[in-house]
Amino acid sequence: MLTGIGVAGVAGLTVGSAAPAAASTPTTPGAALASLLAGNARFRSGHSRHPHQGVADVHRLAAGQHPFAIVLGCADSRVSPEVLFDQGLGDIFDNRVAGNIVDEVVTGSIEYAVAEFAPPVLVVLGHERCGAVAATVETIESGGTPPGSIGALVEALRPAIEPVLHQPGDVVENGVRANIRYQVARLLAGSAIVRDAVAARTLRVVGARYDLDTAAVTLL
Ligand SMILES: [Zn+2]
């Protein structure tokens, strides 16, 4: 059983101790996804409720968390999961890195959350006009070398983006969509813990795109 792995105990990461879910916390993949999308609908229509963001929530959650969703999103300052899904503290186990890249460390972070909290949904969230995707396109097309460690980002994104470089349409938009699908596939290929949860139907993994213009999240 995934919840019996006891990752927190083994690793001594008591900060991650699971707490019982509140009665309103979604417990199925369908309900969890519906909750995220309903929150996004509130946000983009200007009717955010800003749930679970008060001092009382801090105190309620101090003893433990029970997030109902994992998000792997881009570090872009405009793509904050709690804001665009209208959720709050304790709701989403966030993993953010430019280009929403799956690597071993990110996979470990996600596996920890799956094993410890058994959240029913995991969203790989890319977004329109992603700078990391654009930088990768530019590097491939120019043949240049990015400064510092930015090259590591580019090399991680290159296999996702190269196959769609010459497809019709906007190259960055094509790259954003291809990268979301690529990272979902990479996560599933690289994680037996995630695959097992999906096979057991306790976890649904979806790719999604955030639109910077409309604030809408669309499942791919
Ligand atoms: Zn981005």
Lookup: tokens for 151: 């090259």
**Residues of the chain scoring pLDDT < 50:** 1-16
Q: How far is the CA of 113 from the centre of ligand 1 (A)?
A: 23
Confidence at residue 19, expressed as pLDDT on a 0 to 100 scale: 64
Ordered structural domains, the chain, with CATH: 25-219 (3.40.1050.10)
Confidence at residue 24, expressed as pLDDT on a 0 to 100 scale: 82
Q: How far is the CA of 215 from the centre of ligand 1 (A)?
A: 14
* Residue 167 burial (C-beta neighbours within 10 Å; 0-12, 13-18, 19+): exposed
* Residue 80 burial (C-beta neighbours within 10 Å; 0-12, 13-18, 19+): middle
Lookup: tokens for 42: 């509130």
pTM of the model: 0.91
Residue among 19, 24, 30 nearest 87 (CA): 24
**Residues contributing to the annotated binding site for Zn(2+):** 74, 76, 127, 130
* Residue 131: DSSP 8-state: H
Q: How far is the CA of 1 from the centre of ligand 1 (A)?
A: 35
Q: How far is the CA of 210 from the centre of ligand 1 (A)?
A: 10
